[in-house]
Amino acid sequence: MAQYSAQLDGVFVALADPTRRAVIRRLGDGPASVGALAGEFPMALPSFMKHIRTLEANGLIHTVKSGRVRTCALNRERLALVDGWLAEQRRIWEGRTDRLEQFVTDTEENRS
């Protein structure tokens, strides 16, 4: 559980930045070179590389270097961590609202 929590924390930290979310969104269309990705953002390449390293360190993307070109690809399995967590939260909150609805319904019936 602690490992799962640490992995999830890392993914959320990586996704907290709008630049990194934009990179993830772009990589959803398919792999791209770092140069092509960096060209979409108004920052120097070293600054952009920090974002790439953060995404890679947290397992959201992987990169492959071929000659002088580094290509990034999305790791969709890692995003499943977020999907699983959100599904769990959805179940919890739906259960709470179901219980609240039942409580209100029972209370109204008892008043009548």
The CATH number of the domain where 13 resides is what? 1.10.10.10
Number of separate domains in the chain: 1
Task: Give the domain range for residue 65.
Answer: 2-111
Q: How far apart are CA 15 and CA 27, in angstroms?
A: 14
Q: Let me know: does 71 contact 64? Beta carbons within 8 Å.
A: yes
- Global pTM reads 0.76
Tell me the pLDDT band of 1, cut-offs 50, 70 and 90.
low
First and final CA of the chain: distance in angstroms? 47
Structure confidence at residue 112 (pLDDT): 64
pLDDT digits (tens, 9 = 90+) for 47-77: 999 999 999 999 999 999 999 999 999 999 9
Structure confidence at residue 88 (pLDDT): 85
User: Does pLDDT of 87 surpass 80?
Assistant: yes
Structure confidence at residue 99 (pLDDT): 66
